[in-house]
Structure 1
C-alpha cells in the first residue's frame, strides 16, 4: 500500500505540474506568434493606448487613471495577502505534533516546504507589481506637464512590468493552489490541476478566430 501511494505521487503530481507548465509554454508561444488569439496580448497592446488616452485630457481623466491603477493594486494586494495566509496555515500545519511516525512527518514537511516556496514566490511577484504600479500612479499625472523630465515610454514600460509581474504572480498562484490538496493525496492534485488549465484556457483565449488585436497592433506584448 505504501508503494502504491508513492507510485501515485511519483506519476500524478509531476503530471499535474507539467500540464500547467506546458499550457503556459503554449500560451507564451501563442502570445508571441498569434497575439490576435489571446486576451493577454490584447491587454498589452492597449497599455500604451490607455496612457495616451488618459493624457489627452488629463485634467478630467486624472482621477480615472488613479482609480484604474488602484483597482490593479487592490487585486495584487488580495493575491499577496491570500498567499501569506496560506503560508501561515502551512507553517502551523507542518509544526503540529503528529501521532504518525517520523517518515510520514518528514513527507508532510517536504510537501509543505515546496508549497511555501511557491506561495512566497507569488507574494514576491505581487509586491513587486504593487511597487511598479504605485510609481505609475505618481508619474501618470506628471506626464501632463510641459517641463517634466519623465518620458512617456518609460511610464508605459513601468506599467507593463507591473502588469506582467501581477500576471506571473496570479499564474503561479492558480497553478500552485491545487498542490495544497497534495496533503490529502495525489489524485485530487491531478484532477484540480487539469480543471485549472481548462479554466485558464477559457479565460485566456479569444473565442473568435479573427480576434480583436491584429498583428499590426502596437504596444507591449508580454506573456
Structure 2
C-alpha cells in the first residue's frame, strides 16, 4: 500500500500544481482591468492637463491657440467694416458652425439612447471567453455607465457651443450698437472651447468603447490616441500678425 501511494504522489503533486497555476491565471485575467484601464485613463487625463497648460501659458504652440488668433482677427475685421455684406458672410460662417454642433449633439444623444437600450438587454457576446479581461456583469455595467457619461457630456458641450454661436449672431447683427469686438471674440472663442470639449469627450468614449473588448485594447488605444492628438494639437507655424484695418467713418454731409 505504501509503494502504491508513493507511486501516485508525484502525479497528485503535479495536478495540484497545475490547478494552482490555472487559478493564478484566472486571477491575473480579472485583475488586468485594475491595471490597464486606470493606466490608460491616467495617460489620457495627463495629456489633456498638459494641453490645457499649453493653451493657457503658451497658446501659440497649440492648434487651438493658432485658430483662436485667426478667429480674433476675423471678428475684428467684421466688426470694423460695419457692412451688411460682411455681416451676412459672418452669419453664414456661424450658421455652418451651429449646424455642425447640432449634428454632433444629435449623434451623441442617439448613441446615449442606444447605450440605454443595451443596458436593459443581455450581452452574452461581451461575456464570452474570447475577451481577455473581466467580463462579470458588474464590470460590464461600469463600462456602459462610463461610456454613457462620455456621450452625455459631449452632448451637453455641443449644445452649449450652439448656444454661444447663436448668441454671437445676435451681437454681430445688432443695429446701431456700441458692442466691442472683444465681447464678440469672447463669445465665439467660448463656443469653440465647448466644441473642443465635446470632441475630447468623444475621444474618451472611443477608448472606453474598446474597453468592451478587453483592457489591453483600451490601453493600447489610449496610447495611440495620445500620440495622434499630440501630433494634431501641436502647432509649429508662427502666428500670423493680422494687420488691423482703420475703421470707416461716415461721410459728413
| Residue 239 of structure 2 is aligned to residue 212 of structure 1 | yes
TM-score by length of 1: 0.83
CA distance in 1, matches of 2:140, 2:212: 7
- Secondary structure, counterpart of 1:184 in structure 2: coil
Q: Is the counterpart of residue 42 in structure 1 residue 62 in structure 2? A: no
**TM-score, normalised by the number of residues in structure 2:** 0.74
Structure 1 position 63 matched with structure 2 position 88? yes
For structure 1, which runs of at least 5 residues remain unmatched after alignment? Answer: 215-223
Aligned length: 208
Within a 5 Å distance, the mapping from 1:135-154 to structure 2 comes to: 135-142=167-174, 145-146=175-176, 148=177, 150-154=179-183
Q: Spell out, residue by residue over 1:134-187, the C-alpha distance to the aligned partner (whole angstroms, 9 max, x if none).
A: 111222122xx33x2544332222112111111111112112211012111111
The aligned counterpart of 1:123 is 155
Work out which of the residue numbers 20, 24, 32 in structure 1 matches 2:48.
Answer: 24
Task: Out of 2-11 and 186-195, give the one that drifted further.
Answer: 2-11
Residue 78 of structure 1: CA displacement? 2.8
List 4+ stretches of structure 1 deviating above 6 A. none
Q: CA RMSD in A?
A: 2.3
Q: Tell me which of the two structures has the higher relative contact order, counting C-alpha pairs closer than 8 angstroms and 6 or more residues apart.
A: 1
CA distance in 2, matches of 1:5, 1:70: 51
SS across alignment from 1:96: coil
The aligned runs of 1:69-148 (5 Å cut-off) are 69-98=94-123, 104-142=136-174, 145-146=175-176, 148=177
Q: Rg bigger for which structure?
A: 2
